[in-house]
Amino acid sequence: MDKHEEVLIAIRQIIRAIDLHSRKLNKELGLTGPQLLLMRSIRDSGEVTIRQLSSNTNMSQATATTIIDRIEKRGLVKRHRSQLDKRKVHAYLTEEGAELLEKAPLPLQDHFIQRFQNLESWEQSLLLSSVQRISAMMNADDLDVAPLLEVGNIAHHQGTPSS
């Protein structure tokens, strides 16, 4: 097998692992990766504005708002106006949201991060440069994406309703 075929197989294996994890998350909890990420950010931040959430998760405010709308309809998150500054709206987890989050598996990237951080610094740099080179070779290095491992249409991470 040629080396380029081996690289493409490894990329497909990564995509498949992400897809399987996303399906498991959706099947077990009815959540998408971005929904879980925002809920974890709300939990870790306490009451937080959408602007702060989008910054914490590297999502656009439009994407974060769309996702919050969906999980609020499910009763997992509530929003309320700040008493100090009526222009600000804070999000917080409901009791149901907190309970669901406790049952949630770690996102796939958490497992990756733990293993990546256990590597020597030189090996981390080597992997980073290799993946960046692959991204450039696939004309993907200019795509604006969050550091979130999920498969699907990249446009849906930019604020379209399927988040």
- What CATH number does domain 3-158 carry, 3.30.110.40, 3.30.230.10, 1.10.10.10, 3.50.30.10? 1.10.10.10
Beta pairing partners, 79: 91
Cα–Cα distance measured from residue 26 to residue 107, given in angstroms and rounded to the nearest whole number: 12
Mean pLDDT of the region 82-100: 88
What confidence tier does 158 reach under pLDDT thresholds 50, 70, 90? very low
If one compares 47 and 55, the residue with the highest pLDDT of the two is 55
Quick one: CA dihedral 100, 104, 107, 108, positive or negative? negative
Mean pLDDT of the region 6-12: 91
**Which of 45-54, 93-102, 103-112 shows the lowest per-residue confidence on average (mean pLDDT)?**
103-112
In the chain, the percentage of residues whose pLDDT exceeds 90 is 34
Q: How high is the pLDDT of residue 143?
A: 66
pTM of structure: 0.68
Other Cβ atoms less than 10 A from the Cβ of 78: the count is: 15
The residues spanned by each domain of the chain are 3-158
Q: What's the burial of 63, exposed, middle or buried (CB within 10 Å: 0-12/13-18/19+)?
A: buried
If one compares 144 and 131, the residue with the highest pLDDT of the two is 131
Q: Which DSSP letter does residue 84 get?
A: S
What confidence tier does 112 reach under pLDDT thresholds 50, 70, 90? confident
Mean pLDDT of the region 12-37: 87
Q: How high is the pLDDT of residue 88?
A: 85
What confidence tier does 123 reach under pLDDT thresholds 50, 70, 90? very high
